Amino acid sequence: MVSGVCRRPDGARRALPPWPGEEPRQLASRLDSECDLLLKNGLLPTDLVTRNGRVAQAALRAWTPAFTHGALQIDHVFVEGG
């Protein structure tokens, strides 16, 4: 679960709501297992699994939590520590 603190435009700090879901480590482990299964059983071409696995790993890289609401306007984006 990811959580953090946001700073409002008026300078007040508020806790971000909890974001449920699997941790990136868990997702990466499951991704590796699924890719291995696909390759081991020859279900998909190796280059396809490898390329898409790299794309998926990039999506799981470390990121800074941010909370947005309403229309995506610069004054509606809150970034931890910002």
pLDDT (0 to 100) of residue 2: 44
Of 70, 60, 43, nearest to 2 by C-alpha is: 60
Q: Spell out where 1-82 has E strands.
A: 5-7, 13-15, 66-68, 77-79
The pTM assigned to this predicted structure is: 0.53
List alpha helices for the chain, DSSP H: 24-40, 46-59
pLDDT (0 to 100) of residue 30: 92
pLDDT (0 to 100) of residue 50: 94
SS3 26: helix
Q: Give the rounded distance of the alpha carbon of 75 from its chain centre.
A: 22
Q: Give per-residue pLDDT as tens, 21-64.
A: 778 888 899 999 999 999 999 999 999 999 999 999 888 887 77
